[in-house]
């Protein structure tokens, strides 16, 4: 795929009160992000944000003010790859999750494919409810993989797999499997992140948005519960005044000051080299 040319980015700051989260919402309006088909994950690393689109074979790098830095074309990806979702960085490499298969792709910082890793996942997902997020715990040498929604017996649940690995990531073994109830399946989890000893996840359905904070012990996520912070009113208020933005939150990450970044999927079918009708919503919660 050809390298997209970057245009000057415009960013807009818009402040909203955030229920149950003492923070301000800064909206970074980026014209260049709207050329991307379906942002599906975001990761903060060394004052940069790395954004992975679902179908475009590239990673977009911007700084925390929204200024473009580079497009990193993904080269040599397996022909069996389906849709790319979450993104993290481990041991100096990008790790990307395949939505439809239990596969993790290792890519160097220049976008060159290195290898893939497989892990055991059960039950099989259906109806496009696949693997949505990946996170890395360097201290405990653990990876976390999110399955957004699955029907387990008679109920819907999200699943977080905790995987251990060797130094070169060559061996992945399942350490723990956490099931998160989703009731009748209206809600889904769309991404996870681990940074600064914090583990967070996005849970949402149309018009309702939550950030869940999970406790963990020795790297394993606690099954005893989590704290839930609702951001529905803040998102809804912004969308009422800015109807051209996509409300489909797909990615979450933290910076070193614990500012939270959220990104949405401009899900209207635009191609990689054409501006789409819905705008990507990139938020920073302070």
Six-digit token string for 199:
């583990």
Mean pLDDT of all residues in 173-187: 89
β-sheet bridge partners, residue 107: 94, 113
pLDDT > 70: what percent of the chain? 82
CB atoms within 10 A of CB 67: 14
Q: What is the b/e burial string over 259-284, where b = at least 16 CB atoms within 10 angstroms of the residue's CB? A: bbbbbbbbbeebebeeebebbbbbbb
HSE, CB side, 13 Å, CA atoms: give it for residue 29: 10
Cis before 94? omega within 30: no
β-sheet bridge partners, residue 234: none
Give the confidence band of 160 by pLDDT, cuts at 50, 70, 90.
very high
* Residue from 88, 37, 45 nearest 64 by CA: 45
Can you tell me the distance from the alpha carbon of 6 to that of 3, in angstroms, rounded to the nearest whole number?
Answer: 9
Sheet containing 84-90: order of strands: 84-90, 93-98, 103-107, 113-118
Can you tell me the distance from the alpha carbon of 90 to that of 109, in angstroms, rounded to the nearest whole number?
Answer: 11
CATH class of the region 25-285? mainly beta
- The C-alpha angle 55, 61, 62, rounded to 5 degrees, equals 125
| The pLDDT of residue 72 | 95
What is the pTM for the complete model shown? 0.87
Q: What is the CA radius of gyration of the chain?
A: 18
What are the residue boundaries of the structural domains of the chain, listed by start?
25-285
Q: What is the pLDDT of residues 229-280, one digit of tens each?
A: 888 888 888 788 878 888 889 999 999 999 999 998 876 555 666 666 778 8
Q: What is the pLDDT of residues 72-87, one digit of tens each?
A: 999 999 999 988 999 9
DSSP alpha helix (H) spans, 95-254: 232-241
| The pLDDT of residue 1 | 37
**Residues 6 or more apart from 215 whose CB is under 8 A from it?**
221, 222, 224, 225, 226
């Amino acid at each position: 795929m050809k390298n997209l040319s970057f245009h000057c980015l415009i960013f807009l700051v818009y402040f909203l009160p955030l229920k149950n989260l003492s923070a301000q919402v800064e909206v970074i309006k980026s014209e260049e992000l709207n050329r991307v088909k379906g942002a599906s994950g975001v990761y903060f690393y060394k004052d940069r944000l790395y954004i992975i689109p679902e179908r475009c074979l590239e990673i977009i790098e911007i700084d925390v003010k929204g200024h473009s830095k580079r497009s990193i074309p993904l080269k040599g990806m397996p022909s069996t790859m389906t849709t790319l979702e979450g993104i993290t960085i481990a041991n100096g490499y990008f790790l990307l999750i395949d939505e439809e298969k239990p596969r993790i792709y290792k890519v160097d910082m220049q976008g060159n494919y290195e290898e893939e890793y497989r892990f055991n996942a059960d039950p099989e997902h259906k109806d496009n409810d696949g693997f949505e997020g990946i996170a890395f715990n360097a201290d405990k040498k653990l990876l976390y993989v999110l399955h957004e929604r699955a029907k387990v017996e008679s109920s819907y649940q999200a699943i977080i797999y905790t995987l251990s690995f060797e130094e070169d990531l060559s061996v992945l073994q399942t350490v723990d499997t956490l099931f998160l109830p989703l009731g009748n399946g209206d809600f889904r989890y769309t991404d996870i992140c681990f940074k600064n000893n914090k583990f967070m996840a996005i849970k949402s359905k149309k018009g309702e948005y939550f950030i869940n904070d999970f406790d963990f012990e020795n790297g394993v996520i606690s099954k005893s519960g989590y704290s839930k912070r609702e951001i529905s009113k803040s998102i809804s208020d912004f969308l009422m005044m800015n109807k051209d933005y996509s409300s489909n939150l797909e990615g979450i990450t933290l910076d070193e000051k614990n500012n939270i970044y959220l990104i949405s999927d401009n899900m209207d079918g635009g191609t990689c080299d054409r501006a789409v009708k819905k705008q990507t919503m990139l938020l920073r919660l302070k």
